[in-house]
Amino acid sequence: MLISCYDNDYMSDDSRLFDHEIKEFIRLFDNDSLRAVRAVHAYAHTKRQQPAQKASASAGPVVVDLQDVKKTYKIGRERIAALDGVSLQIRQGEFVALTGTSGSGKSTLLQMIGGLDKPSEGIVMVDGFDLKKMRDGKLSKFRNQTIGFVFQFFYLQPFLRIRTNLEVPGMFARTKRSVRRNDIQRLAQAVGLDDRLGHLPRELSGGQMQRAAIARALLNQPKILLADEPTGNLDSVNSDAIINLFESIRRDFGTTIVIVTHDAAIAARADREIRLKDGVVI
């Protein structure tokens, strides 16, 4: 069945289906191979018909709205402006890349959106919440439910199995264990780690660890996924696979993706690139 799909001349590089998409079809059609094959063909045809352009969510609502956001740090007697009047909007379902040189403020901007930091001036509205006015408890809940973080160094807990690592956001959300387990199973399949759930992080490769971190970030079905240099520690093959995963997540779940990256090739794959320099958008 899988071989049939891959070999089918309907498939082209543009509309190539991912393994997980094929498996999903199989599952949906209860292993009825005939129906599944027909559905695959229909889906592939649809994809082929779509313009060969990056998917755009321009019609989606604004989920991130920054208005003249400034962030100043005091280091000794000096005041450093990490952000100096940033205004931007990101819509639901967009894949946005934040680029710029070191110290340009891109990570600071990401942290503002994620509620990890508060602006010195300006307004940060995310999913309708004014983050500047939110207290610590509500911000924590906001980060847990609305945001998913992916870090450059994965930050998995070394003494917890991958399964338990993935459960951690659900623990803070007080989700029942049975529900968490089901979701983890699904997510693990989606990121291709279903056979690694019982392993410790040190037993995984860099790419696998980052996929685990992504699955962890997706457990509570966040609206926005924020990734800070997610491929910074990976080779090109794994980097590519991670970006592919982001694209599929955006496509399948409608999640808004915002990544910070130095890599131009990765930035090119985003719907939109926002460049920063010296704390301002250029």
Partner 1 sequence: MIRFSDAALLALTKLRTRKVRTIVTVITASLLFGTLVLATLLVGGVVDSAKRFTKDSLSERYITNVQDFSGYTLYDGTSPELQARANEMYIKLVADKKREAARLGAEYDSNSEQKPTTKGPDNISYLDLTSPAAVLAIREHIAALPPTIEKLKTAAAAYHPKSFYEMKANAMPGEMTLMVDGVEKYKGVAKENYFYSPAPDVDRGWSYLDASITNQFLLDSAHLDAQKNIQDLPIIAPYSKVEAALGLKKLPKSATSQERLERSSYIRKHAASATFTACYRNAASQLQIGEALRVAKEIEQNKTNKEYQKPSLIYGVPAATSCGPAIVSRDVRTADEKKQAEKQLQFDRLFDSRVDPVQQKVTFRVVGLGPDGFSGESFSSMSALVSAVAGSSLQGMWVVPQNMYDALPNKQSYAIFDPANAQFDPQAFPAQNVQLVEFTNVADAKAFSATGCTGMDCGNGKPFISYFGSNSILLAEIISTATKTIGIAVLIVGVIAALILMGMIGRVIGDSRRETAVFRAIGAQRNDIRMIYTIYTIALSLLIALVAVIIGVVVALWIDHKWATEATAQAQVTFVGVDGSEKFRLAGIWWSALWVVVAAVIVAGLVSMLLPLSRNLARSPIKDMRDDT
Give the total of residues touching partner 1 (CB under 8 A). 32
- The least CB distance from residue 216 to partner 1, in Å, is 7
- HSE value, Cβ hemisphere, 13 Å, CA-based, for 179: 11
If the CB atoms of residues 129 and 172 are measured against partner 1, the closer one turns out to be 172
Least distance between partner 1 and beta carbon 79 (Å): 17
| Cross-strand pairs, 261 | none
| Pair of tokens at residue 234 | 């990976």
β-pairing verdict for 280-281 and 272-277: antiparallel
Judged by CB, which is closer to partner 1: 23, or 118?
A: 118
- Per CB under 8 A, contacts with partner 1 among 156-185 are 157, 159-160, 164, 167-169, 171-174, 177
* Tokens representing residue 94 in the block: 């967009």
Q: How far is the CB of 75 from partner 1 (least distance, A)?
A: 12
Please report how close the Cβ of residue 5 comes to partner 1 at its closest, in angstroms.
36
Which residue lies nearer to partner 1 by CB, 155 or 253? 155
> How far is Cα 173 from Cα 58, in angstroms, rounded to an integer?
31
Q: x/- site string to partner 1, residues 122 to 151, per CB under 8 A? A: --------------xx--xx-xxx--xx-x
Are the C-beta atoms of 18 and 11 separated by less than 8 Å? no
Instruction: Report in angstroms how near the CB of residue 144 gets to partner 1 at its nearest.
Output: 2
Q: For residues 31 and 35, give the distance between their C-alpha atoms in angstroms, rounded to a whole number.
A: 9
CA distances from 115 to 24, 129, 224 (A): 34, 10, 12
Supply 77's token pair. Answer: 């007697």
Candidates 84-92, 113-121, 195-203, 247-255: pick the segment binding partner 1 (CB under 8 A): 113-121
Shortest distance (Å) from residue 10 CB to partner 1:
41
Written as one string, the DSSP assignment of 187-205 is HHHHHT-TT-TTS-GGGS-
Nearest Cα neighbor of 125 from 85, 72, 89, 83 is: 89
Our finding on whether 211 is near partner 1 (CB under 8 A) is: no
Query: How big, in percent rounded to 5, are the helix, strand and coil portions of the chain?
Result: 45, 25, 35
The span from the CA of 259 to the CA of 236, in Å, is 17
- Decide: is 116 part of the binding site for partner 1 (CB under 8 A): yes
Of 129, 39, 112, nearest to 260 by C-alpha is 112
Among 86, 217, 243, 270, binds partner 1 (CB under 8 A): 217
| Cβ closest to partner 1, residue 96 vs residue 166 | 166
The span of 39-47, 214-222, 234-242, 252-260 binding partner 1 (CB under 8 A) equals 214-222
CB nearer to partner 1: pick between 218 and 243: 218
Q: Is 76 left (phi over 0), alpha (psi -120 to 50) or beta?
A: left
- Closer of 140 and 205 to partner 1 (Cβ): 140
- Chain residues binding partner 1 by CB under 8 A are 111, 114, 116-117, 136-137, 140-141, 143-145, 148-149, 151-153, 155, 157, 159-160, 164, 167-169, 171-174, 177, 216-217, 220
